[in-house]
Amino acid sequence: MAREEPKEQASTNGQAPVPDSADDKMAQVRELMFGGAVRDLERRHRDTAARLDEAIQRIAADMERRVTALEGRVMAKLDGLATQLHDEGQARIAALDDAENRLSLALRTQRDDALSRQQRLEAELAATEARLRDVGAQLAAEMQAGQDSIRQALSGARRELGDEKLAREDFADLLAELSLRLRIGETAVRDD
């Protein structure tokens, strides 16, 4: 409900207006008794509200300044960390590239060494095969000559046996001589 303003009547003698009713009288008494205190409280309330608004504005401005400063520091730190992260990434990439280059060089060196060894071994193998073929041919010729010599000796011995009819001791001597010649032929083949 809206508070009604007391109706005042003008007095005939020029004094303050007189309220109409008892409620108006009570309001006037209250005004006289507590009006100054209420006005003082309202003034204090307004002053406190103004000081509170000023404090809030100061705190808000201070917080805004601090947040801005903090954002600046954080952004500087983040920029520094981003730069550091980028530099570390580049350093790691360079280290990986270097390791890859060294590994490639080591692999190429090992491959070249292996090829060189393989070529040397192939040359040695070819030379050894040629020597073995020569020795084999030489041995085959010597063995053939030994066999021909033995055949001739046996053939000659058979003819002699047939002609002379040798005794058993003579035949044993002949076989011993044949055995000796075979051993000498084997020894000669082994020495070559």
Each of the 192 residues of the chain gets a pLDDT tens digit; together they read 344 444 444 444 445 455 457 888 888 887 888 777 888 888 999 999 999 999 999 999 999 999 999 999 999 998 999 999 999 999 999 999 999 999 999 999 999 999 999 999 999 999 999 998 998 888 888 888 888 888 888 888 777 766 665 566 777 888 888 888 888 877 766 666
| Backbone dihedral angles phi then psi of residue 3, each to the nearest 5 degrees | -80, 130
Whole-number Å distance between alpha carbons of 26 and 19: 10
Positive or negative torsion for Cα 35, 36, 41, 45? positive
